């Protein structure tokens, strides 16, 4: 089912829902701030390109339904343990800012909280799969933002 797909929700469903909501809220008009379009592009491209990199380097499939066969610690994964998930959050923040939408902001915040729980589950699975090499990687590379947290 498409609704189970995080990428479908982030990049298709949520933008459609937000635009529809904003049209209803503002009498058929959508406020749009083009200065934030680069955030939308950055988030989507980060998700897409990092995903292709992970599959090429680590095998497996998108997400953890088909987990990687090899631990990937290079490229964007040398800076952040979850660059694909971070791409989702950047995209949704861009959506909120570009459309000046409280609904999109709430979706971005809710998605960030949901990803935090998902990451904790994913990390347990990666420790089971890769053991000490993953523990060492996690000790040296921040979960979300390089150098911060």
Distances (CA, A) of 58 to 1, 14, 16, 92, 143: 26, 29, 33, 27, 18
Percent of the chain with pLDDT over 90: 88
Confidence of residue 131 (pLDDT cuts 50, 70, 90): very high
Fold of 2-140: 1.20.120
- Per-residue pLDDT, averaged over 20-48, amounts to 96
Confidence of residue 1 (pLDDT cuts 50, 70, 90): low
pLDDT on residue 9: 96
């Amino acid at each position: 089912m498409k609704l189970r797909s995080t990428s479908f929700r982030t990049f298709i469903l949520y933008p459609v829902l937000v635009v529809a909501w904003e049209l209803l809220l503002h009498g058929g008009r959508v406020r749009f701030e083009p200065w934030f379009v680069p955030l939308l592009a950055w988030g989507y491209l980060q998700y897409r390109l990092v995903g292709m990199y992970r599959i090429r380097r680590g095998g497996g499939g998108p997400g953890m339904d088909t987990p990687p066969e090899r631990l990937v610690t290079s490229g964007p994964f040398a800076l952040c343990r979850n660059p694909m998930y971070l791409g989702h959050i950047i995209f949704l923040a861009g959506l909120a800012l570009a459309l000046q939408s409280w609904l999109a902001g709430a979706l971005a915040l809710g998605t960030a909280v949901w990803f935090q729980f998902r990451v904790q589950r994913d990390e347990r699975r990666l420790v089971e799969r890769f053991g000490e090499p993953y523990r060492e990687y996690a000790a040296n590379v921040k979960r979300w933002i390089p150098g911060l947290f």
